[in-house]
């Protein structure tokens, strides 16, 4: 395989050099395993005929759909004709003898594999070969991408633009080439959580259509969780009558407010079994297997709300969760529970014909099991070590049942706890360690580590992005992922089946938001799991991406454009100013325009050059946006950063009390002029302290001062409280300090998390040194979420005026 990949690269480069082509002529995503460019192009016009063997009805249906899409956008009216087994046209006019044909020929060539294909395109004809229906399907997706992007639109287009109706048929062209292609991994997945927020069947089908274009072959449908049970089970109707409904939903991030705020609106929805069958059939037509997930033994609140007898405390009342997180109420491993789960899985297996049934297995607290006399007796009776062993017992029983039904389970990597079931496939999400361990134990693995594959993470500036879970996952980081850990031996590496992108929907309420979070990051992942590792190149991907985005535009996909964003960085100077650099994204076309007054950049705003440094002598918000000609690429394609300039800017200081190791001070963060951020669950440009803050700022020389402002983090759900008191004192020699202000502050203030910039004004005086002491409340005050817990202080920026 390595020799094949290396030769492919050489041939790719050599052929482009010989024929004078450029790689942007072939804007395929994912990039094929081998593509040999040729000069010229095949023109699809009114005389083009598509030929299919007469004994291939499934292939005929695929080609009919392909022709229908071309006809819809071009108005050409292409004909699909069948040929005899030997390849001759079965129609009277013998179109096979005409030069302008696209023929589809089954082959027994094992080189293409189960999902591979070949395309041989010349100026006269195109031949498509594959040994399986899946291979032909992926070949057609490649043909779509060889055609102009407008071919994927919903109506006819003109030759010159995709915005006007064509008065006459429009010819399409395919660049001449030879492609031999097959995927790197057998499992190429995308996930969608419909439990936290529900999405209709029509959108599920659209999601599957986009997966198919990118050659994904597994749709992981997360159907049950604490917040809602979304699949009809005939034997247990209360699962959807009660478990699919929650009384309200938390507002904002889990820790946004203290106390938490709820919207007061009932929420629900589920799929009938007929709808599930429809989705499964629809996906199968696109060679996508649907992997259902029925969560157990944790994430069970919605099920327990319907059937509390399945819990370790049957007399309690349960309800579907109204907020996010992990809950201690889980399935109790009684025979009643196993009977229930076997009944549920029997109906699920009847609905989903694929090999895999996902049983969750993640985030199962053991609190209820520890308190349960039944569970403790079960642990002793079965000779289990502890509650982790009980989880393994639970998973093993379900595994045996599913295996007896001819299927295999997938579980999140927590199923490794207490020993792994013999037939289980591990889905590694907590980094790569679990997947590596499972592969070494000769278990199959699907890699989906959060730092590379969780599309609910932010992809741009959280202050400007739609709400995400937290963390940062830009497009380039997705593309950089290699699912096979380098430390595995070749034999162990064979157990890495592939990778999957996950979208958890706690903060994603609409289908537009789903698409925004998934695309084009999923396009990058598609290349990760399809293209040979040796052929991956982010620069080359970036060259192909603009054309691919046109395809998504023609399909009206609400993809993100944040990878076009410039980057703003600020650096304080010893002179007390802030130098701001604006760096262009390598993917961005056009100009970068900026403003210094906080307004949104326009076509009249100044243009930023690569070498330019903006020098700020006053506090302001800098905004920058990517423009293509006179218009911005998108209203969201912009960045902004607030900079604070004062007498403290760029000045050194000493901290009499050291900060915590979790958020240390780096290069004088408290006087660097850059305002901190609170995107998602992350804090940036912030220094935290377990005790008091005691900072002495050296202004360099004695000068008038009369005001200090300090940005304190109010994030009481994370035990970061405002100080209870702030004391300001000044000095000329740095040894003897004169108090100028003592101010009581409200450490018990809750509400929405924020960076609160507290002002401390005092009578004008002169000083070289200013000392700021902020007194920690010690413990979180009563009335907040975690009263009595150790309180922290977190500081953003110190201003002195």
Question: Per the structure block, which two tokens stand in for 312?
Answer: 């370790």
Tell how strand 408-412 and strand 356-360 pair up: parallel
What is d(CA 301, CA 580) in angstroms, rounded to the nearest whole number? Answer: 50
Long-range contacts of 718-721 (CB under 8 A, 24+ apart): 718/255, 718/792, 719/780, 719/786, 719/789, 719/790, 719/791, 719/792, 720/688, 720/791, 720/792, 720/793, 720/794, 721/747, 721/748, 721/749, 721/776, 721/777, 721/780, 721/781, 721/784, 721/791, 721/792, 721/793
Give the residue among 589, 592, 587 at the shortest CA–CA distance from 607: 592
Cα 332 from Cα 377, distance rounded (Å): 13
* Residues 276, 278, 283, 285, CA torsion sign: positive
Alpha-carbon distance of 323 to 325, in angstroms, equals 7
Among the listed residues 81, 25, 82, the one whose alpha carbon sits nearest the alpha carbon of residue 48: 81
DSSP state string for 384-398: -SSHHHHHHHHHHHH
Q: Which residue has the tokens 């040894």?
A: 735
Q: Are 393 and 375 in contact (CB under 8 A)?
A: no
Q: Which residues of 235-270 are buried (b: 16+ CB within 10 A; e: fewer)?
A: ebeebbebbbbbeebbeebbbbbbebeeeeeebbeb
* Contact between residue 83 and residue 51 where contact means Cβ atoms under 8 Å apart: yes
Q: What are phi and psi of 587, to 5 degrees?
A: -95, -10
Q: Among candidates 141, 135, 105, which has minimal Cα distance to 120? A: 105
Annotated catalytic residue 457? no
- Secondary structure of residue 508 in the 3-state scheme: coil
Catalytic entry in 191, 214, 299, 457: 299
The residue annotated as part of the active site, out of 363, 437, 749, 761, is: 363
Q: How far apart are CA 603 and CA 580, in angstroms?
A: 21
For residue 757, the cross-strand partners are: 711
Torsion, Cα of 143, 149, 154, 157 (10° steps) = -110
For residue 363, indicate whether it is catalytic. yes
The Cα–Cα gap between 141 and 487 comes to 35
* Token duo for residue 351: 């609905």
Cα–Cα distance measured from residue 307 to residue 100, given in angstroms and rounded to the nearest whole number = 64
CA–chain centroid gap for 92, Å, is: 53
16, 26 contact by CB (below 8 A):
no
DSSP code per residue over 186-220 = SEEEEEEE-SSS---HHHHHHHHHHHHHTT--EEE
Characterize the bridge pairing of strands 218-222 and 638-643. Answer: unpaired
The rounded distance, in Å, linking the Cα atoms of 296 and 274 is: 24
Question: Could you confirm whether 225 is annotated as catalytic?
Answer: yes
Helix residue spans in 618-708 (DSSP H): none
| Alpha carbon distance 498, 186 (integer Å) | 6
> Catalytic site residues?
225, 299, 363
């Amino acid at each position: 395989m390595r020799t094949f990949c290396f030769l492919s690269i050489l041939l790719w480069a050599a052929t482009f050099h010989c024929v004078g082509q450029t790689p942007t002529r072939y804007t395929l995503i994912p990039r094929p395993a081998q593509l040999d460019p040729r000069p010229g192009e095949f023109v699809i016009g009114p005389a083009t005929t598509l030929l299919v063997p007469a004994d291939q009805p499934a292939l005929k249906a695929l080609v009919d759909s392909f022709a229908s899409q071309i006809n819809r956008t071009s108005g050409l009216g292409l004909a699909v004709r069948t040929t005899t087994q030997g390849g001759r046209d079965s129609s009277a006019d013998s179109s096979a003898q005409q030069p302008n044909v696209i023929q589809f020929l089954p082959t027994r060539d094992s080189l293409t594999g189960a999902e591979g294909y070949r395309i041989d395109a010349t100026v006269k004809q195109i031949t498509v070969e594959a040994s399986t229906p899946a291979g032909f399907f992926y070949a057609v997706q490649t043909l779509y991408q060889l055609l102009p992007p407008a071919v994927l639109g919903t109506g006819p287009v003109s030759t010159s633009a995709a915005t006007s109706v064509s008065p006459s048929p429009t010819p399409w062209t395919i660049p001449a080439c030879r492609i031999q292609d097959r995927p790197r991994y057998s499992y190429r997945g995308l996930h969608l959580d419909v439990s936290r927020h529900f999405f209709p069947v029509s959108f599920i089908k659209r999601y599957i259509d986009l997966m198919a274009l990118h050659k994904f072959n597994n749709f992981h449908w997360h159907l049950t969780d604490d917040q809602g049970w979304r699949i009809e089970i005939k034997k247990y109707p209360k699962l959807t009558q009660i478990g699919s409904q929650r009384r309200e939903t938390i507002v904002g991030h889990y820790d946004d407010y203290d106390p938490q705020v709820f919207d007061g609106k009932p929420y629900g929805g589920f799929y009938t079994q007929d709808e599930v069958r429809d989705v499964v059939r629809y996906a199968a037509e696109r060679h996508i297997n649907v992997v259902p997930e029925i969560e157990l033994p944790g994430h069970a609140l919605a099920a327990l709300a319907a059937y509390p007898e399945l819990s370790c405390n049957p007399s309690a009342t349960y309800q579907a969760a109204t907020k996010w997180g992990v809950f201690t109420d889980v399935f109790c491993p009684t025979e009643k529970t196993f009977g229930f789960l076997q009944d549920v899985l029997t109906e699920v297996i009847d609905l989903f014909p694929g090999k895999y049934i996902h049983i969750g297995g993640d985030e199962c607290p053991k609190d209820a099991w520890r308190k349960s006399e039944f569970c403790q007796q079960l642990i002793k009776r079965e000779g289990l070590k502890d509650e982790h062993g009980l989880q393994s017992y639970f998973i093993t029983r379900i595994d045996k049942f599913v295996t007896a039904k001819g299927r295999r389970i997938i579980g999140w990597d927590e199923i490794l706890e207490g020993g792994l079931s013999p037939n289980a496939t591990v889905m590694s999400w907590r980094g790569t360690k679990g997947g590596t361990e499972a592969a070494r134990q000769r278990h199959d693995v699907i890699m989906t580590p959060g730092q590379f594959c969780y599309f609910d993470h932010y992809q741009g500036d959280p202050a400007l992005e739609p709400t995400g879970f937290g963390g940062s996952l830009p497009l380039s980081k997705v593309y950089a992922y290699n699912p096979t850990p380098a430390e595995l031996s070749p034999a162990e590496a064979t157990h890495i089946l592939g990778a999957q992108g996950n979208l958890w929907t706690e903060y994603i309420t609409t289908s537009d938001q789903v698409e925004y979070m998934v695309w084009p990051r999923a396009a990058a992942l598609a290349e990760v799991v399809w293209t040979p590792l040796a052929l991956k190149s982010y620069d080359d991907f970036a060259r192909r991406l603009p054309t691919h985005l046109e395809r998504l535009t023609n399909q009206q996909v609400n993809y993100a454009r944040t990878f076009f964003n410039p980057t703003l960085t600020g650096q304080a100077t010893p002179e007390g100013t802030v130098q701001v650099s604006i760096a262009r994204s390598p993917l961005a076309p056009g100009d970068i325009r900026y403003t210094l007054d906080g307004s949104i950049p326009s076509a009249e705003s100044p243009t930023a050059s690569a070498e330019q440094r903006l020098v700020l002598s006053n506090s302001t918000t800098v905004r920058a946006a990517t423009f293509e000609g006179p218009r911005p690429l998108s209203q969201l394609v912009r960045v902004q950063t607030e900079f604070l300039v004062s007498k403290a800017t760029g000045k050194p200081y000493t901290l009499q009390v050291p900060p915590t190791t979790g958020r240390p001070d780096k290069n004088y963060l408290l006087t660097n002029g850059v305002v901190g951020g609170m995107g998602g669950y992350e804090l940036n440009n912030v220094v935290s302290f377990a005790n008091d803050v005691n900072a002495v700022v050296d202004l360099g020389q004695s000068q008038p001062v009369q005001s200090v402002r300090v940005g304190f983090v109010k994030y009481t759900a994370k035990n970061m409280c405002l100080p209870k008191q702030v004391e300001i004192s000044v000095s000329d020699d740095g040894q003897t300090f004169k108090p100028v202000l003592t101010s009581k502050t409200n450490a018990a203030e809750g509400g929405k998390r924020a960076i609160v910039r507290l002002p401390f004004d005092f009578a004008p005086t002169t000083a070289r040194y200013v000392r700021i002491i902020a007194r920690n409340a010690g413990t979180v005050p009563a009335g907040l979420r975690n009263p009595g817990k150790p309180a922290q202080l977190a500081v953003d920026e110190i201003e002195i005026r």
